[in-house]
């Protein structure tokens, strides 16, 4: 058994009732890590002996970010499409087909290299848990291999065969849904924890979404949903009805959608992805409306090559505070404990005995600096399962 004592912490964000305010902040605290797990949190004067010591140098210590929505298995990039959009072309989601073509043509090693590179990039920026979706293969073999590669990088893997109807099924979408519910689900399920659907006009309607999520549940997968991103739609209420863990985007909501999320009482989280609105120059979701109504809100990157090519949770926190009127505390909670709730995890997103020793040390005295100093690399060290990830 190896132990490590983290002390000289400027501010410890625990996300538990053991500290002050919504983030459970403790001062003059120390954290003992044993075998990758938090073994003790308490006043530094009472800290037990440990094999090693890590000095936080008065920096803030937070739980690692839990990025509950990312698409990391793909080939190619869409920088030219981004530039055209910034010059005025609207985002329709159709560019996904460009990535599907490149992904199908790529080798396993090419897909693996990209997923690993993005995973490492996210880890350096404090993300210690990341969900990874398939959805750029859209054939039985390509979805299965996408998930096989995703599972090499993360245990939070999501089958998104229903990302878009591929071109070869454009005039017979029902046949594609049958493929997704049948052989594609069967091939994907061994590598997936979750099933997801892009429920949106131009992608999959309510009947398709219900069929795919229900079949996914029957195959032993838990459910989540892309909903109400590009316009109003049935996704949020359907997601709550089916008990999905999270409805993601939530950009266009009616009062009935918000009421449904309130009624879900945290069982279904609203995950906001402001990187997508930033990168498509679209109006941001109304986070205040959700928070003031009492909805559980998560923040995630939606990292993908088309509509949000960022792996940076700190960037999303800055956007949430500046553009969506979340307080810095609300944004940090949403990116840690909120993300954990969106993945139905209790072992991450908080720092308390029994939690995984996934945390970050900031080159700043307070979590406020994540929004206050946008674009600045403030994360000095990341511990994942208790192991330091960055060189001193």
Among residues 101, 120, 76, 131, the alpha carbon closest in space to that of 305 is found at 76
Cα separation of 81 and 70, whole Å?
19
User: Among residues 146, 144, 147, 211, which one has the least CA distance to residue 176?
Assistant: 211
Beta carbon nearer to Zn ion, 10 or 93: 93
In DSSP notation, 105-161 reads: HS-HHHHHHHHHHHHHHHHHTTEEEE-EE--S--SHHHHHHHHHHHHHH-S-EEEEE
- The site for Zn ion, by CB under 5 A, has a size of 1
Q: State the nearest-atom distance from the C-beta of 226 to Zn ion, in Å.
A: 5
**Residue closer to Zn ion (CB basis): 7 or 302:** 302
Residue 104 CB, shortest distance to Zn ion, in Å, is 19
Tell me which residue has tokens 């309607």: 205
**Nearest approach, Cβ of 306 to Zn ion (angstroms)?**
9
Shortest Å distance, C-beta 274 to Zn ion: 13
Query: Measured from the CB of residue 228, what is the shortest distance to Zn ion in angstroms?
Result: 13
Nearest to Zn ion by Cβ — which residue?
302
Judged by beta carbon, residue 30 or residue 72, the one nearer Zn ion is 72
| CB 308 to Zn ion: min, Å | 8
Least distance (Å) between residue 49 CB and Zn ion: 46
List, in sequence order, every residue forming a beta bridge with 4; answer none if it has no partner.
33, 52
CA 311 – CA 302 distance, rounded (Å): 8
Min dist CB 303 to Zn ion, Å, is 9
Rounded Cα distance, 286 and 250, in Å: 8
Residues 328-347, interacting with Zn ion (CB under 5 A): none
Sign, Cα dihedral of 320, 342, 219, 239: negative
> Residue 69 CB, nearest distance to Zn ion (Å)?
6
CA dist 352 → 30, 194, 334 (Å): 11, 27, 18
Residue with smaller CB distance to Zn ion, 68 or 128: 68
Of residues 18-57, those binding Zn ion (CB under 5 A): none
Which of 10/137 has CB closer to Zn ion? Answer: 137
Residues 286-305 that bind Zn ion (CB under 5 A): 302
> Residue 111, exposed/middle/buried by CB under 10 A (0-12, 13-18, 19+)?
buried
DSSP assignment of 40-59 equals EEEEGGGPPP-SEEEE-TT-
Q: How far apart are CA 132 and CA 148, in angstroms?
A: 11
Sort 79 into a burial class: Cβ within 10 Å, 0-12 / 13-18 / 19+.
exposed
**CB of 160 or CB of 260, closer to Zn ion:** 160
> Rounded CA gap, 258 and 295, in Å?
8
Binding mask 302-321 for Zn ion (x = CB under 5 A): x-------------------
Do residues 3 and 17 touch, judged by C-beta distance below 8 A? no
β-partners of residue 55 are 7
Per-residue binder mask for Zn ion (CB under 5 A), 243-282, x = binder: ----------------------------------------
Residue with smaller CB distance to Zn ion, 257 or 302 = 302
Q: Which is nearer to Zn ion, 11 or 302 (CB)?
A: 302
CA dist., res. 239 & res. 227, Å (int): 8
Q: Quick one: 203 or 379, whose CB is closer to Zn ion? A: 203
Nearer to Zn ion, 67 or 302 (CB): 302
Binding site for Zn ion (CB under 5 A): 302
């Amino acid at each position: 058994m190896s132990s490590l004592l983290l002390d000289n912490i400027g501010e410890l964000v625990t996300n538990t009732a053991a500290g002050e305010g919504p983030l459970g902040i403790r001062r003059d605290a120390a954290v003992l890590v044993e075998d990758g797990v938090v073994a003790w949190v308490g006043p530094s004067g009472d800290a037990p002996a440990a094999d090693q010591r890590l000095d936080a140098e008065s920096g803030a210590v937070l739980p690692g970010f839990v990025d509950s929505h990312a698409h990391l298995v793909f080939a190619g990039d869409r920088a030219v499409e981004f530039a055209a959009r910034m010059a005025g072309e609207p985002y329709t989601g159709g560019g996904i087909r460009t990535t599907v073509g490149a992904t199908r043509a790529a080798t396993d090693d090419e897909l693996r290299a990209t997923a690993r590179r993005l995973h490492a990039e996210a880890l350096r920026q404090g993300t210690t848990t990341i969900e990874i979706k398939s959805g750029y293969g859209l054939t039985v073999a390509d979805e299965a291999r996408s998930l096989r590669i995703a599972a090499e990088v993360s245990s939070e893997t999501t089958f998104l065969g229903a990302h878009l109807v591929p071109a070869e099924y454009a005039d017979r979408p029902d046949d594609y849904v049958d493929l997704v519910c049948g052989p594609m689900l069967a091939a994907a399920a061994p590598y997936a924890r979750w099933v997801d659907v892009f429920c949106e006009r131009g992608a999959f309607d309510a009947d398709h979404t219900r069929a795919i999520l229900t079949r996914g549940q029957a195959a032993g997968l838990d459910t989540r949903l892309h909903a109400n991103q590009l316009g109003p739609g049935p996704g949020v209420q359907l997601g709550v009805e089916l008990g999905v863990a999270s409805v993601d985007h939530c950009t266009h909501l009616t009062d009935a959608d918000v009421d449904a999320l309130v009624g879900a009482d945290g069982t279904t989280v609203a995950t906001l992805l402001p990187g997508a609105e930033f990168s498509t120059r679209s109006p941001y979701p109304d986070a205040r409306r959700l928070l003031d109504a009492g909805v559980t809100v998560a923040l995630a990157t939606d990292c993908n090559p088309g509509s949000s090519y960022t792996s940076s949770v700190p960037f999303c926190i800055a956007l949430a505070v500046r553009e969506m009127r979340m307080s810095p505390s609300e944004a940090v909670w949403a990116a840690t404990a909120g993300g954990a709730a969106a993945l139905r995890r209790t072992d991450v997103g908080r720092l308390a005995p029994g939690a995984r020793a996934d945390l970050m040390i900031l080159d700043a005295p307070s979590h406020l600096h994540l929004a206050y100093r946008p674009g600045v690399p403030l994360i000095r060290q990341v511990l994942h399962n208790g192991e330091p990830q960055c060189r001193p």
